[in-house]
Homo-oligomer: A and B are copies of this chain.
Amino acid sequence: MSKINPENMTCPLPLSDYPYVTMAHGSGGRMMQQLIDKMFCAIFTDVQPNDCAIVNIPQEHIAMTTDSFVVNPLFFPGGNIGSLAINGTVNDLAMGGARAKYISASFILEEGLAMETLWQVVQAMGYAAEVAGVAIVTGDTKVVERGKGDGIYINTTGIGVLEHKHTIAPNKVKAGDVVILSGDIGRHGIAVMAGREGLSLSGAVKSDCAPLAEPVLDMLQAGIAPHCLRDATRGGVAAVLNEIATAAQLQINISETAIPVNEAVRGACEILGLDPLHIANEGCFIAFVAAKDQNKALQIMQKHNQQAVVIGTVIGTATSGNDGMVILETPIGGTRILDMPVGEILPRIC
């Protein structure tokens, strides 16, 4: 059973004394110490008391990743900035083929933030870290004046270990590789936008925010060496496919009909004039694997998410003449170029 049960815990900081974050909570004095000791350390039980944590990594090659989270609103169907901040970093490590081990958590709080809000976020982080098997070992807290932030911004930086010798990177993608998508797309972006704009959609859309390490580590353990892995966050599936096509200088052919999109997401996209392929996900990734590994990889990915599916293939230079492009086979049997999203689609989605 989890140590952390957000429904059962009350904030150990005396909320009656300080119901809101004040500038003094970021000034290095006694009030900051109290916030850290009473609230953060109650949940982040692996945090070391010094400015610098000493951790143990037996492997020589480690993975490192960082992300700042500025999602608006802080709470959305299926998650909040806290669960997002942990899963996002765990997932970036997983996409590097690494098992997340240690994470840092750094907060930029806006003066006037309700302490109870922070407490809920901190608990969500603790819970997500526990589920993902990662230890939050060090942190930092800053407070900015009202109107110089937006409640809570969080940076998480993660260290992971590599338990294999493969290089997993865009330039390892080869002609003939198959493209496997881990599940249905578009839920995170739509859930956040619905939360922000107060849209009521036909059928609730929950963010897919979740850790993705297990299918990846299972694949590696089964002897599959994926050529490239990428979670389809900002810019969605379209951005990921374009980045990889460009880096590999190959063409990627994708079957639009193969891509699972749930009805509520599809409906919201139609109303809003958005392409689900451009919408951010937080629990969905794309794997490029050799054709020989297709069945085994798909089977493993489907064990974790039944909707995992082959969506396309990589085409070599000689055949295509379209290096660096993503070609979408449309439902009506035509093709179109799936371009990189250019500008702002949904700001502050993560």
Contacts and interface: CB of A to CB of B under 8 A. Distances in A.
Interface of A: 22-24, 26-33, 49-58, 60-70, 92-93, 95-96, 98, 102, 104-108, 137-140, 142-145, 147-150, 153, 155, 157, 159-160, 162, 169-170, 230-231, 233-236, 239, 243, 247, 280, 340-348
Specify how many copies of this chain sit in the oligomer.
Answer: 2
Nearest to A51: B92
A44 to B, nearest CB: 12
Given A57-B57, A68-B108, A169-B50, A346 B63 contact: no
A104 B344 contact: no
A286 to B, nearest CB: 13
B29 A340 contact: yes
B66 A139 contact: yes
25 contacts: A22-B343, A23-B347, A26-B348, A27-B341, A27-B343, A28-B233, A28-B235, A28-B341, A33-B243, A33-B340, A51-B95, A51-B96, A52-B92, A52-B96, A54-B61, A54-B96, A56-B60, A64-B137, A64-B138, A67-B140, A68-B140, A69-B142, A70-B108, A70-B142, A145-B347
Contacts of A65: 51-53, 104, 138
Contacts of A235: 27-29
Contacts of A52: 63-65, 92-93, 95-96, 98, 160
Contacts of A33: 243, 340
A146 to B, nearest CB: 11
A142 B85 CA distance: 13
Contact of A247 (B49, B61, B148): B49
A239 to B, nearest CB: 5
A132 to B, nearest CB: 15
With most chain B CB atoms within 10 A of its CB, the pick from A64, A69, A147, A150 is A64
